[in-house]
Structure 1
Amino acid sequence: MNSTVAPDGPHGSVRRPTAAARGGFTLLAACLAACLVVTPAPGEESPVSRPPQLERDVEFWIRVYTQIDTDAGFLHDQYNLAVVYDTLHFEPTTTPGERERVVDRERERYGAALRRIAAAGDAPLSADDQRIKDLWGAEGTPSRLHAATEDVRFQLGQADRFRAGLIRSGAWETHIAQVLANLGLPAELAVLPHVESSFNPAAYSKVGAAGLWQFMRSTGRRYMRIDSAVDDRLDPFRSTEAAAQLLAYNYRVLGTWPLALTAYNHGTAGVRRAKETLGTDDIVRIVRSYNSRTFGFASRNFYVSFLAALEVDRNPEKYFGSLQRQSAVKFQEVQLPAYVSMPTLERALRIEPEKLRALNPALTHAVWDGRQRVPKAYRLRLPLDGTSWTRELLAQRLSPGEMFAGQSAPPRYRVQAGDTLVRVAARYGVSADTLARMNHLRVSARLRVGRTIDVPEAAAVTVASTAVPAPAAPAAPAPTAPAAPAPAPTATARAPAPTPSAPAVVAAAAPHAPVFTISVGPASPGGAVSAEVAQRESAEDAAVAAAARTRTASAGTQPVSAAQAEAIGPALGPALDAEQNADPIDYSVAHDESIRVTGDETLGHYADWLGVSTAHVREINHLRFGRRVLIGQHIRLDFRKVSHEAFEARRREYHRELQASFFAAHRIVGTELYVARHGDSLWTLTQRATQMPLWLVQQYNPDVDLADLRAGTQIVMPRVEEVGSGG
């Protein structure tokens, strides 16, 4: 068999059989996920390095993870983690408010001490001040100590959470190891959930990240199903597969595992910007030297906290003594032949609801209380009870009247001025907690006027006029066998107007008509969320993350209690750029007031965002009418009417909505590697991959000149499927 050497995978080159040519491109790998099964040779250095320059940081996090529980915490310098001023302990009865006051008082006390020491020069110090100065050693110059007065930070202990996570991890460690091996990823990545969630698959953060791997909705929808019936972020098995895809993507974009892991917290674009700003991929230089408003304590410490978790996970007895990890979860799966309600399934399967809930955590509250049906083709997990369940056997247990061709539509309520979750819940006769769970919200969440939310079936008379009517249900349930599914979503390339003889990679200058954008038809019956809902939720993710940026701007805004730690999720606090975690494109304006054109943008877009005419944008860039604008091209802009910040915000919002709409109906299931031949172009490639928008191709190939696709150019193509086409 002929073979060819494919480009470097996560651990280097790998020899694979040559695949058949497909439409002018050679398909080197049917799917990178299935081919890059490569592990380091014996004695080979791990790709997850532990630089000696970061050792003091790693040791700090080992102490956090092993020495103090969530009833205590360290007061420390946020830049020199070897400097730990004190350990604060709290009684179990101490309220969070009292804890915060103690922490604030102690931070102020140590800040005042540092100011005294910095001003004292060679004068004698008190015993405690001398102790503080000695912590700094030779680094404790007056100027450094004065700067440190603003850097006193509190870090809550995590030992009890880490120990519990070690025990829980046994339930999924075999699956995680297998998924990583299948993708050729370092086995060390398996400990990342210690940092993210303490291996708690039900964890929710205050910025909306969920599950074992702490995905935001907007990022999670790239790889998983997230809708009113299913939230795969809460499924430790499916979310593991998604996390592995995201990590592999980060590595391909950034080139090293320290950077790929840092991007899991800070976002691919943010880490790529740091790499380009400093001109290095050295994690030590980036952690020590990169200065950015959003690259804060959490981002600087994400990789070193991962290394600490790896050390503890490898040596649990050293730090915690003997402990017994949970046994691997064992189950069987059956694919549903139709949409079926959970009460019906419980009766047909004769399985206790508690067992079904434990095995199927991705099913939402709306499914368990009967408001939504379990989707057709969903792979329902069942206990190994002696019955070998198949799709056909389950269908035999169900009557035709219990199998439906589509999802039930819950009643909806349109929010009015003055509404709160508590007030709406009272009108519908349910608790605020229940209504919040139905809508994946906090009870304290603010409701935007005009937004629609799910409400219980029995609507109160006082709100009947404002309830949004649900689509009419069929008079009788349709048996599944003869039911024909609705047409699958179609994707067609939209032609530019006017169309040059050779298609432009990006656009002609139509104000609102980006060419080669994907136009997606009706959602499949699989239950994909609408584009409107996906855009709204993506915007909410962005708003919550932006609020988190504000809250975490100071050094002292860490949790002070176990309850707050659980609410936040990872010990480091929320990722600051969570809403753009998987987008590596830099949408910012350069110092010379220019930008680089990215996929699905036009001169008309720039004109709209600037408040000027398209002709003016052409004029300042010396572009004739009809001349093509290419991906990667530098375009100068005129900021006399809007600020850089306003332009960047509009640009990011456009791409956020574009991506949210696409991932409302599609998800990424793998990648393919192509090598271009003579005569090929990005246009020919996207025409063959009819569901592939240009911006997604660019995200997977940010360093490839897509405007000048030459023979031999290697292109990573994500493979996508329609949401609902699989379980």
Structure 2
Amino acid sequence: MKASRRLALCAVVALCAPLAMADDFPRPAELEPDVRFWTRVYTEVDTQSGFLHDARDLSIVYETLRLTPGASQRARNVQVADAKERYGRILKKLATGARQGLSAEEARVLALWPEGISAARLAEGVGDLRFQLGQSDRFREGLVRSGAWMPHIREVFEDAGLPQELAVLPHVESSFNPAAYSHVGAAGMWQFTRSTGRRYMHIDHVIDERLDPFASTLAAAQLLRHNYEVTGTWPLALTAYNHGAAGMRRAIRLHGTSDILTIVRQYRGRTFGFASRNFYVAFLAALDVDRNPEKYFGAVRRTPALEYEVVELPDFLSVTALEHAFGVDRATLMKSNPALMASVWSGSKHVPSGYTLRLPRRALSRPVGELMAGIPDAERFSEQTPDLFHQIVRGDTLSTIATRYGASIQELVDLNALGNRHSIRAGQVMRLPAAGAASSAAEITVPPADGVYVVRRGDSLSSIARRFNLSENALLAWNALSDRNRIAVGQRIRLAVAPDEHVVVASAEAVVADTGPAADEAEQVADVVAITASEPELSAAEVAAVESAEPTSGEEAARLGPQVLAGAHPALSADPGDYTVADDATIEVQAAETLGHYAEWLDLRASQLRRINGMSFSRPVVIGRRLKLDFSRVEPAEFERRRVDYQRSLQEEFFVTHQIRNTQTHVVQRGESLWVLAQRRYGVPVWLLRQYNPDIDLDNVRPGTKLVIPELVETERRPTAAAHEAPPRGQKLMASSGPTIE
């Protein structure tokens, strides 16, 4: 499976120009102080120390602060806060213009700044005080770990035509830790979020390829290449890896340049904070250290790459059968196959057919094919163990559920990816181990994984209620709807009570309590939010907080990541589409959106939008054009949230059943219809085609235009809704048969 993916990636590169050039990673002189700062972070101070510095001018380091050994997180935070307060007082005094009678410490601080520094800048320095935890111990550990994966990474990137320098990126992302998790939901060596990762990898409760260094490296190559193609430079492509492609394209548009120095110094995006501004210079510092580790750490012995045998499984097989067949213990299998989830190792699920099993060559007594052939037919299965469910009711605890179905509490925690075993709620649906559960688990209609249904043409509130065995009154209440006869295509309908309405019991058991009428309704719905771990959806304010985070311990830094994945909407981080509202109250029309959507998100009638844009009734909106909106009833931020929710839902649903394996180039010929090309010839939805061709006016394509076409493969997961449907009414481009190239 992965081998074929690798060959496909090589094939597409043969058709594309190499992306590596001599000056791929420019180093403007103005950025050198920033690079030196991060070099010091990576090599001079460990996670027991840190720099107190100016957040904008990284050449200003006030102090190397040694944190109290063994102190609690709270005590460390107090220590940092006290140091900030001390330097804040000094800066405030200097900002008054005082230059005579300074103490030795005050004079030292003043000398750190350029001669003639203004009082205003010193005053701003109070707010720019920042603490950066050291990383030298983590970086050295990453250097050691990198040896196991670097040969594979370099080979994949060479095949993909990517610059070899990019191979050091995991130093910045995860310190080359394949099991790394960040608190924004990113996982693995390359720190993919679940939604971005699903574009390129298999991610569910059985397999999570983000944790597989081999599969995730192939995915990282695709994402980096995509970022480069939509931003145009490697500094911006790297920053997009952290901040999102849309944010970087917005910065290019606002400043009229793709110059990295201009953007990191001048761009003031709402979520473009310290982490995003410093991602590229941190990468350059990591590159310097990786090239010459002895200069900073002395002799470093990198872990040698293990030699593996791989076999694509022709059947569904239990872990026990694989242990017996290959003579390899479970611990070795787990270490060699980190993508397999706890449900597999516990025996609740089989290792899937088609999975590429990796085995240490030194552990095998005979050729892998011979050992594989020795597995008896009785231990081979044609299908996966079916998912069985229990719907939680008031009074349930994990202990009572486990006892009822003959399972252990840990099995339930693992199978449902529960982060907190003391937090369950009425109405929640839990996956069960297969054994003994078939007779008790009620068959239910499972809604989308996020508990939200996106309205389609022909839906009514009553039909949605019947589909999910709910009452219309519950849907009206949960969605603050006043008119049961007024819902719109694209509208998001909540199918359960809000996540914060469950009861968390601070004891050894979580007991589901009665929370009133809402709980009664909640018991009727199959809420599968907790079935698989999902990344949090961060607001702009939350992202800003993450961007400016100042961890004071190695544990906290590990949760955040050396640099955290930013972007206002992590679920759309690979999407270059601009979903923001401009200062002039206009938006850029995106694929799969209509005037009806905008009216619904604005709580207006579509006729009002037609009037202010001078549009006749028959005139559709055009992808890529700008549209004036009316924010008299809804704030721009709320409109953006609703819009992003719709796009996120659309894209996540599609990537449950599809993966991007490669890209290919199509040269448009006279007489071709873009609708036919996208939907019928290549099977690509228009919104995805636009993501790969964001600078091409798809409504006015000329013969000879080169389109980048993502190559898709269908996964074995069952679709929950039609991903390819007729183009939305009220939108030009693909509106019926689509424009024909003349």
What's the secondary structure of 1:328's corresponding residue? coil
Kindly, what percent of the aligned residue pairs are identical? 47
Q: 2:332 aligns with which of 349, 355, 358?
A: 355
Contact conserved, 1:545 with 1:578, CA < 8 A, in 2? no
Post-superposition CA distance 1:61-86 (Å, at most 9, x none): 00000001111111111111111111
Equivalent position of 2:158 in the other structure: 181
Aligned length: 635
Q: 2:675 aligns with which of 671, 674, 683?
A: 683
Equivalent position of 1:670 in the other structure: 662
Equivalent position of 2:6 in the other structure: none
1:246 maps to 2:223: yes
| TM-score (ref. length: structure 1) | 0.81
CA distance in 2 between partners of 1:431 and 1:550 (Å) = 40
After TM superposition, list the pairs within 5 Å mapping 1:337-352 onto structure 2: 337-352=314-329
Equivalent position of 1:148 in the other structure: 125
Would the alpha carbon gap of residues 446 and 685 (structure 1) be closer, same or farther in structure 2, given more than 3 Å must change? farther
Q: 1:620 aligns with which of 612, 617, 625?
A: 612
Partner AA of 2:603 in structure 1: G
Q: Which runs of 5+ in 2 are unaligned?
A: 1-8, 446-455, 459-485, 491-525, 718-742
What's the secondary structure of 2:317's corresponding residue? coil
Pairwise CA distance, 1:323:
1.2
Equivalent position of 1:86 in the other structure: 63
Equivalent position of 2:562 in the other structure: 570
What's the secondary structure of 1:660's corresponding residue? helix
Partner AA of 1:619 in structure 2: R
After TM superposition, list the pairs within 5 Å mapping 1:91-240 onto structure 2: 91-138=68-115, 140-240=117-217
Contact conserved, 2:204 with 2:532, CA < 8 A, in 1? no
What's the secondary structure of 2:65's corresponding residue? strand
Post-superposition CA distance 1:119-139 (Å, at most 9, x none): 243332110011111111236
Post-superposition CA distance 1:362-383 (Å, at most 9, x none): 1111111111111111110112
Would the alpha carbon gap of residues 80 and 355 (structure 1) be closer, same or farther in structure 2, given more than 3 Å must change? same
Post-superposition CA distance 1:347-395 (Å, at most 9, x none): 22221111111110111111111111111111101121242223xx466
Partner AA of 1:631 in structure 2: I
Equivalent position of 2:572 in the other structure: 580
Post-superposition CA distance 1:649-689 (Å, at most 9, x none): 11111100000000000000000111112222321311333
Equivalent position of 1:653 in the other structure: 645
Post-superposition CA distance 1:492-518 (Å, at most 9, x none): xx999xxxxxxxxxxxxx99568xxxx
Would the alpha carbon gap of residues 423 and 587 (structure 1) be closer, same or farther in structure 2, given more than 3 Å must change? farther
Equivalent position of 1:551 in the other structure: 545
CA distance in 1 between partners of 2:367 and 2:541 (Å) = 50
Equivalent position of 2:264 in the other structure: 287
Would the alpha carbon gap of residues 62 and 432 (structure 1) be closer, same or farther in structure 2, given more than 3 Å must change? farther
Would the alpha carbon gap of residues 274 and 542 (structure 1) be closer, same or farther in structure 2, given more than 3 Å must change? farther
Partner AA of 2:344 in structure 1: V
Partner AA of 1:565 in structure 2: A
Partner AA of 1:32 in structure 2: V
What's the secondary structure of 1:155's corresponding residue? strand
Pairwise CA distance, 1:458:
7.8
Equivalent position of 1:597 in the other structure: 589
Would the alpha carbon gap of residues 673 and 535 (structure 1) be closer, same or farther in structure 2, given more than 3 Å must change? farther
Partner AA of 1:389 in structure 2: V
Contact conserved, 1:341 with 1:374, CA < 8 A, in 2? yes
Pairwise CA distance, 1:223:
0.4
| TM-score (ref. length: structure 2) | 0.79
1:33 maps to 2:13: yes
Q: Which stretch of structure 1 is more off in the superposition, 201-210 or 411-420?
A: 411-420
Larger RCO (CA under 8 A, 6+ residues apart): 1
CA distance in 1 between partners of 2:531 and 2:624 (Å) = 30
Contact conserved, 2:152 with 2:214, CA < 8 A, in 1? yes
1:635 maps to 2:627: yes
1:320 maps to 2:297: yes
Pairwise CA distance, 1:48:
1.4
Would the alpha carbon gap of residues 270 and 593 (structure 1) be closer, same or farther in structure 2, given more than 3 Å must change? same
CA distance in 2 between partners of 1:643 and 1:539 (Å) = 31
CA RMSD of aligned residues (A): 3.3
Pairwise CA distance, 1:536:
8.9
CA distance in 1 between partners of 2:130 and 2:173 (Å) = 20
CA distance in 1 between partners of 2:531 and 2:389 (Å) = 16
What's the secondary structure of 1:240's corresponding residue? helix
Would the alpha carbon gap of residues 341 and 444 (structure 1) be closer, same or farther in structure 2, given more than 3 Å must change? closer
What's the secondary structure of 2:254's corresponding residue? helix
Equivalent position of 1:72 in the other structure: 49
Equivalent position of 1:304 in the other structure: 281
Q: 1:387 aligns with which of 349, 366, 381?
A: 366
Pairwise CA distance, 1:303:
0.3
Q: Which runs of 5+ in 1 are unaligned?
A: 1-28, 472-493, 497-509, 515-531
Would the alpha carbon gap of residues 642 and 342 (structure 1) be closer, same or farther in structure 2, given more than 3 Å must change? same
Post-superposition CA distance 1:28-54 (Å, at most 9, x none): x995334447486xxx73311222110
Q: Which stretch of structure 1 is more off in the superposition, 443-452 or 681-690?
A: 443-452
Pairwise CA distance, 1:704:
0.3
